[in-house]
Structure 1
């Protein structure tokens, strides 16, 4: 795919990208070092959410079990509606009333799963998600922030496997993935989309940001409203566009900033155009 060569013009030391088809998980194109390990920053939250959903299906806990501040549940934490502050274990709003993007909330998710399962969160994620998908290079680095919120390390090759799973689930019931990625959790809530400002509404599923009608956005101007995924402060993203039937991963080693807000939408639009999206 010629469009993937656009990453050569990004002002970053290193970058890797891969596009995965939804129907069969086939890699349609890749560019850059596919086996290089990159810090994921908040793209880690997608892996966290998936591990939590596996735990729900395994009966470790339920989405509506209490977790976090009083009145909050596992569901609230996944949807950034627990009321917890961005980076503090401090309640800023009543659960379900505001979309407060919260790293602290994902810390609590990891703690909740660890307590309920009797196994460390990083070990649970490795056993429940990474190993079955063949993501042998992926790890949650407990020495770097939270293993749930922003401490993930992975490669484009590994995330291609995860992107395939998101489009044709094997580890979870497809209805569980659909509910997490296509249904807005606590609809109508506004909030800040990190890096892009306040959005009304700021749609989110269970761990997965849903594009909706947000503009500007880190995906493309031609991305379907059903597009879901996440980007990370380390200059990384993963999106799935159900309308186009593809997913795209991009990993870099330069922090998110104006360069990314300008480069990523144009890149996404070029990818979708080349695929006929």
Structure 2
């Protein structure tokens, strides 16, 4: 593992903890990889994995009812349930619009908890966090945005996405494939897109621009960023993933450095 400094973070006025991995090992880190910070909406990726384990165990199914009337587990995962960012009153019928929703992901956590007969945080700890050895990670907060983790643990999770051990490869593939093609939607902080592509829990780069990933990334690149200056991306075409933590609210400074940083990561480690 290389300890490095990324040029794109020069002048960034906050902590910039970064890690890069392939499916086998950590390639590089900037900063202390065991410092724990809030990951905000990157939590949604961890939650999605807990949902996939529940699907694999036969506790729930993608097509079963969950959330508001007419919505399914799949609708909650891909932000097409109609629920707003926060609140219980749907804004659209399921499947009509991609409405980014913390409320939908929290409802999903509650649905899995009911099926598993235990709090969702306990399910996540037992079925995802402990099996993967993510010892720095706390998932006791909201399923949508409440986790705390480290670069070290986020890279463990990224390797799991690149080479799954807890869920079948086919289910991972479905999670990283566009769900509900051609839907208009909004990426918070970046605006609206006529085709706001999302998989199951994972945002897909698609052709969105401006975006937190560099424009050169392939459309199938998957990941998420968080409102407390975090991101995780997985580029299966390069067998490459990376994570970023700063612990401060997302701002124009993050928007400034993230595209050149992700470009630098690929240039140095993308092979």
Same fold (TM over 0.5): yes
Identify if the C-alpha distance between structure 1 residues 110 and 102 changes in structure 2 by more than 3 Å, giving closer, same or farther.
Answer: same
Return the offset for 1:273: 1.2
- SS state at 2:172 partner: helix
- Please give the residue correspondences for 1:91-110 in structure 2 after superposition, counting only pairs within 5 Å: 91-110=90-109
The match for 2:149 is 154
Return the offset for 1:132: 0.6
Return the offset for 1:220: 1.2
- SS state at 1:261 partner: helix
Return the offset for 1:275: 2.5
Distance 2:28 2:76 in 1: 35
Instruction: Answer whether contact 2:8 2:260 (CA < 8 A) is retained.
Output: no
| Alignment partner of 1:11 out of 1, 6, 13 | 13
The match for 2:125 is 126
Distance 1:90 1:247 in 2: 36
Corresponding residue pairs, total: 269
Instruction: Answer whether contact 1:3 1:267 (CA < 8 A) is retained.
Output: no
TM-score (norm 2): 0.96
The match for 1:177 is 172
| Alignment partner of 1:202 out of 196, 201, 205 | 196
After superposition, the C-alpha distances for 1:120-158 in whole angstroms (9 at most, x for unaligned) are 00010011101010001111233xxxx201100000001
- SS state at 2:38 partner: strand
The match for 2:29 is 30
- Please give the residue correspondences for 1:1-277 in structure 2 after superposition, counting only pairs within 5 Å: 2=4, 4=6, 6-7=8-9, 9-12=11-14, 14-22=15-23, 24=24, 26-142=25-141, 147-181=142-176, 183-276=177-270
Return the offset for 1:243: 2.1
Return the offset for 1:165: 0.4
Give ranges in structure 1 of 5+ residues lacking alignment.
none
After superposition, the C-alpha distances for 1:180-214 in whole angstroms (9 at most, x for unaligned) are 01x11111101001110001100000000000111
Return the offset for 1:66: 0.3
After superposition, the C-alpha distances for 1:48-93 in whole angstroms (9 at most, x for unaligned) are 0000011001011101110011100000000000000111111100
- SS state at 2:175 partner: helix
- SS state at 1:42 partner: helix
After superposition, the C-alpha distances for 1:29-63 in whole angstroms (9 at most, x for unaligned) are 11111111100100000000000011001011101
Distance 1:159 1:262 in 2: 23
TM-score (norm 1): 0.94
Instruction: Answer whether contact 2:63 2:73 (CA < 8 A) is retained.
Output: yes
Distance 1:226 1:275 in 2: 18
Instruction: Answer whether contact 2:5 2:30 (CA < 8 A) is retained.
Output: no
Identify if the C-alpha distance between structure 1 residues 128 and 265 changes in structure 2 by more than 3 Å, giving closer, same or farther.
Answer: same
Distance 2:192 2:8 in 1: 29
What CA RMSD, in Å, does the superposition of the two structures yield over aligned residues? 1.3
Give ranges in structure 2 of 5+ residues lacking alignment.
none
